[in-house]
Amino acid sequence: MPTLAGKRALVTGGSRGIGAAIVKRLAREGAHVALTYVSRKEQAEETAAVARSHGGKSVAIQADSGDIKSLVAAVQRTVSELDGLDILVNNAGVALIAPFDEYRLEDFDRTVEVNIRSVFVATQAAVRYMQTGGRIINVGSCNAERMPFQGGSVYAMSKAALVGLAKGLARDLGPRGITVNNIQPGPVDTDMNPAIGEFADSLRKLMAIPRYAEPAEIAAMVAWLAGPEAGFVTGASLTIDGGFTA
């Protein structure tokens, strides 16, 4: 049987890139999967359709992770549509890069809202429905440990915050049989961070394996953390970066 047969999952920011790969991989492993999106409805529906092709349920829910009410409503709708919730993947994120002297306060606030606050809000809403064996998986970044270019201080801060949050939540939720982990991808080939161009070339020079990851490689680690073999892993930040931080 698939490793996640019958499990119910919610992936925030699941319409494209890493999020879409996670949705598809969880569905392939037998899970029913809801996903949130902000504006690209057609793309989100296409991702949900691929997920359903594996035989389970899937629903695309419009919700901005920076909006507390819509995010909590997305959790509640997931529970209603899928008859429960076992896995939450906090994948939604923003990367607003600018020189420090020019960094706008509104961009700082948006980064905190989406990259940190939404993880707290969605997790708090989700665990009200989770039973023993529940999984919280946050998608952080290797930039929490290494920021090799200028303009990324606020982004790095937001991803470093997830390391501490995962450790604390592991203590809070461990007695309830719910694990909490953080994965830290390195450069991944997506439309937001393509593997072609001067910026990509500069990052490859810093890596032990000089290539960008495919989204499916990140999704594979998420699927493992969501599955039964990872039941004793909690409070961890697992790096998958091709040696970017080595």
Q: Is 243 domain-assigned?
A: no
Query: Cβ distance 146 to 244 under 8 Å?
Result: yes
**If we measure between CA atoms, which residue out of 35, 27, 34 comes closest to residue 5?**
27
**Marked catalytic residue, from 103, 129, 155, 212:** 155
CATH code for the domain of 193: 3.40.50.720
Is the predicted pLDDT of residue 1 greater than 90, yes or no? no
Mean pLDDT of 111-115: 98
Respond yes or no: is residue 155 known to be catalytic: yes
pLDDT digits (tens, 9 = 90+) for 114-166: 999 999 999 999 999 999 999 999 999 999 999 999 999 999 999 999 999 99
pLDDT confidence of residue 157: 98
Share of the chain above pLDDT 70, in %: 100
Q: Which domain holds residue 94?
A: 8-237
Q: Is 53 domain-assigned?
A: yes
Is the predicted pLDDT of residue 37 greater than 90, yes or no? yes
Q: Is 61 domain-assigned?
A: yes
Q: Is 130 domain-assigned?
A: yes
Q: Is 55 domain-assigned?
A: yes
Both tokens of 123, joined, read: 């997790």
How many domains is the chain partitioned into structurally? 1
Q: Is 129 domain-assigned?
A: yes
pLDDT digits (tens, 9 = 90+) for 3-31: 999 999 999 999 999 999 999 999 999 99
Q: Can you tell me which residue has the tokens 């999704």?
A: 219
Summary mean pLDDT of the chain:
97
Q: Is 2 domain-assigned?
A: no
Is the predicted pLDDT of residue 191 greater than 90, yes or no? no
Q: Is 3 domain-assigned?
A: no
Q: Provide the pLDDT confidence category of residue 43 given band limits of 50, 70 and 90.
A: very high
